[in-house]
């Protein structure tokens, strides 16, 4: 039975199942995984001269993140901590705050048990290879790597956008903070950063390979999300950062840690196709550190189908938030521009994209389709990467505004009338956006 609390439903469609074994990538110890995760954390303000041992003694916890240059630290604490100080600093739950399903949060892309058939063999080659030059991703208006996505991409004017933005995202690094990625999949050949830059915060190494089995938990979620970014901006580079366990659960401190690491790796865009039902001071501090440096952070709205956008997307409205012009919240509509039944909505939602039945690679040299606001968010991340690879006629800080102002009007749809002003400014129009920011309109 379909569950509304799961924000992405994978459609397993096709004729055959091809399983090809691959060798294991080299694994380099990066930093220890948080194997004994604390149930609670506290985020505290510190100055550049603060000493880690002093802060730990003061709060009775252990440091999980230490960023004096950004003015904050995150400590893991238990019931034995300094209760009065912890109360002042707002103790908050840490463990399993970001989940693949359930009542707490959504990673926007769980797997549906009802999806019939089987995934089919991947036949599209490297997404990055279909990137201009002598090889084009388009032939007669058809999207060659994944023809099943043709209508969707034409609806959002991707072919026109890629014709104008000839660099196709070259030189732009996008962090995908998620369940990992299928590092072996041919779709990603040439599309990933060097393995030494990757991080797996679950296992504590540089091999963020998806773990699990298809149909269980979040397995394959990050792979699909990363591919959507590359379908829009095929010459961008993906920095995969694994923060979610095979069951789809993740900890707030780990998500914050991944964001801070992405900043250090000079990414231009961070994609967060995950969410929580409660805010996290640690994650907010990390997001602000990113946006203060001009890094775009894109988050999905969640799949409860309710008037309650999940965190952090619910704090991204530029008229009310503290993250400035570099954050974007994204919901989902179908190919007719009607609100997706699962998509959360609200006054803070900024825009929508076509998040239903989006095809991409599936672990094991396969392909399949996922549905969810998780799939809508990387379309916007890809749009930003596509623009950032070009010489722009507007300041980078204006890109998120242009994304929204040049979006397609969805409120002419009768079925959307009851959601007036609750679905953002409109649906992503890649062609109109690129034409505007490149001064070609």
Mean pLDDT, rounded, of the chain: 85
| Active-site choice (126, 374, 400, 407) | 374
In whole angstroms, give the CA distance from residue 379 to residue 403: 11
**What integer pLDDT is reported at residue 127 of this predicted model?**
74
130 & 150 share domain: yes
Last residue of some domain: 52, 78, 93? 93
Counting Cα atoms < 13 Å in the Cβ hemisphere of 362 gives: 27
272: in domain: yes
**What integer pLDDT is reported at residue 34 of this predicted model?**
54
34: in domain: no
Indicate the SS3 state at residue 150: helix
Residues 6+ apart with CB under 8 A from 23: none
Q: How far is CA 270 from CA 233, 412, 431, in A?
A: 14, 32, 22
Taking the model in full, what pTM does it have?
Answer: 0.89
**What integer pLDDT is reported at residue 97 of this predicted model?**
82
Biggest alpha carbon–alpha carbon distance for the chain: 67
Q: Are 148 and 44 in contact (CB under 8 A)?
A: no
Going by their DSSP bridges, the two strands 92-93 and 199-200 should be labelled as unpaired
276 & 406 share domain: yes
In whole angstroms, give the CA distance from residue 415 to residue 334: 12
**What integer pLDDT is reported at residue 117 of this predicted model?**
36
245 & 111 share domain: yes
347 & 430 share domain: yes
Counting Cα atoms < 13 Å in the Cβ hemisphere of 98 gives: 31
125 & 248 share domain: yes
Q: Are 199 and 30 in contact (CB under 8 A)?
A: yes
- Asked about 284 being catalytic, the answer comes back as no
80 & 189 share domain: no
In whole angstroms, give the CA distance from residue 171 to residue 62: 38
Q: Are 230 and 188 in contact (CB under 8 A)?
A: yes
33: in domain: no
- Asked about 221 being catalytic, the answer comes back as yes
Q: How many CB atoms lie within 10 A of CB 421?
A: 11
| Active-site choice (41, 178, 249, 343) | 178
In whole angstroms, give the CA distance from residue 21 to residue 184: 10
- Asked about 178 being catalytic, the answer comes back as yes
Report the Cα–Cα distance between both ends of the chain, in Å, rounded: 47
162 & 57 share domain: no
Whether omega before 315 lies within 30 degrees of 0, making that bond cis, reads no
202: in domain: yes
| Consecutive H or E run containing 120 | strand 120-121
120 & 250 share domain: yes
In whole angstroms, give the CA distance from residue 262 to residue 341: 33
Q: How many CB atoms lie within 10 A of CB 248?
A: 27
Indicate the SS3 state at residue 41: strand
Contacts 24+ apart (CB under 8 A), 286-290: 286/65, 286/255, 286/256, 286/257, 286/259, 286/260, 287/259, 287/312, 287/323, 287/327, 288/322, 288/323, 289/67, 289/70, 289/259, 289/260, 289/263, 290/259, 290/262, 290/263, 290/326
208 & 155 share domain: yes
Task: Find the domain containing 223 and state its range.
Answer: 8-28+99-437
Distance of CA 233 to the CA centre of its chain: 15
Q: Which residues of the chain are under the pLDDT cut of 50?
A: 1-26, 35, 100-118, 133-134
224: in domain: yes
200 & 165 share domain: yes
Residues 6+ apart with CB under 8 A from 176: 222, 225, 226, 229, 238, 239, 240, 241, 271, 273, 378
**What integer pLDDT is reported at residue 38 of this predicted model?**
82
| Active-site choice (200, 221, 253, 301) | 221
In whole angstroms, give the CA distance from residue 212 to residue 205: 17
Q: Are 212 and 219 in contact (CB under 8 A)?
A: yes
35: in domain: no
Contacts 24+ apart (CB under 8 A), 401-405: 401/318, 401/325, 402/433, 402/436, 402/437, 403/328, 403/351, 403/428, 403/433, 404/350, 404/351, 405/436
153 & 44 share domain: no
**Tally of domains within the chain:** 2
54 & 144 share domain: no
In whole angstroms, give the CA distance from residue 436 to residue 388: 13
Structure tokens at 95: 């463990």
pLDDT in tens, 346-381: 999 999 999 999 999 999 999 888 999 999 999 999
14: in domain: yes
CATH number of the CATH domain containing 254:
3.40.50.200
Q: How many CB atoms lie within 10 A of CB 34?
A: 18
**What integer pLDDT is reported at residue 24 of this predicted model?**
37
**What integer pLDDT is reported at residue 33 of this predicted model?**
56
3: in domain: no
């Amino acid at each position: 039975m379909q569950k509304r609390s799961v924000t992405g439903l994978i459609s397993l469609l096709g004729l055959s199942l091809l399983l090809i074994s691959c060798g294991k990538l080299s694994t380099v110890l990066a930093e220890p995984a948080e194997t004994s995760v604390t149930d609670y954390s506290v985020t505290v303000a510190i100055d550049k001269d603060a000493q880690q041992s002093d802060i730990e003694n003061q709060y009775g916890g252990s440091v999980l993140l230490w960023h004096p240059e950004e003015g904050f630290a995150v400590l893991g604490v238990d019931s034995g901590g300094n209760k009065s100080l912890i109360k002042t600093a707002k103790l908050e739950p840490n463990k399993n705050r970001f989940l693949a399903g359930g009542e707490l949060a959504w990673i926007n892309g769980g797997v549906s048990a009802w999806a019939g058939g089987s995934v089919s063999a991947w036949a599209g080659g490297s997404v990055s290879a279909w990137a201009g030059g002598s090889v084009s991703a388009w032939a007669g208006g058809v999207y060659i790597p994944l023809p099943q996505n043709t209508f969707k991409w034409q609806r959002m004017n991707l072919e026109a956008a890629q014709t104008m933005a000839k660099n196709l995202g070259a030189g732009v690094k996008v962090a995908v903070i998620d369940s990992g990625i299928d590092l072996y999949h041919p779709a990603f050949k040439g599309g990933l950063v060097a393995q030494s830059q990757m991080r797996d915060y679950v296992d504590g190494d540089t091999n963020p390979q998806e773990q699990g089995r298809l149909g269980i938990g979040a397995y394959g979620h990050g792979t699909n999300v990363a591919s959507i970014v590359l379908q829009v901006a095929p010459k961008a580079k993906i920095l995969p950062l694994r923060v979610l366990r095979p069951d789809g659960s993740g900890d707030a401190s780990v998500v914050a840690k991944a964001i801070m690491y992405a900043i250090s790796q000079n990414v231009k865009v961070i994609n967060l196709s995950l969410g929580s039902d409660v805010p996290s001071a640690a994650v907010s501090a990390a997001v602000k550190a990113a946006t203060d440096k001009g890094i775009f952070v894109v988050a999905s709205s969640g799949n409860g189908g309710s008037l309650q956008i999940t965190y952090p997307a619910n704090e991204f409205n530029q008229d009310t938030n503290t993250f400035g012009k570099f954050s974007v919240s994204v919901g989902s509509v179908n190919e007719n521009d009607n609100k997706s039944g699962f998509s959360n909505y609200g006054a803070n939602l900024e825009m929508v994209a076509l998040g239903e039945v989006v095809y991409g690679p599936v672990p094991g040299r396969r392909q399949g389709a996922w549905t969810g606001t998780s799939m809508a968010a990387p379309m916007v991340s890809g749009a930003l990467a596509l623009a950032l690879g070009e010489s722009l006629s507007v300041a980078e800080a204006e890109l998120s505004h242009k994304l929204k102002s040049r979006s397609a009007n969805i409120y002419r749809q009768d079925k959307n009338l009851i959601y007036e002003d609750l679905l953002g400014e409109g649906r992503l129009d890649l062609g109109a956006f690129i034409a505007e920011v490149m001064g070609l309109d």
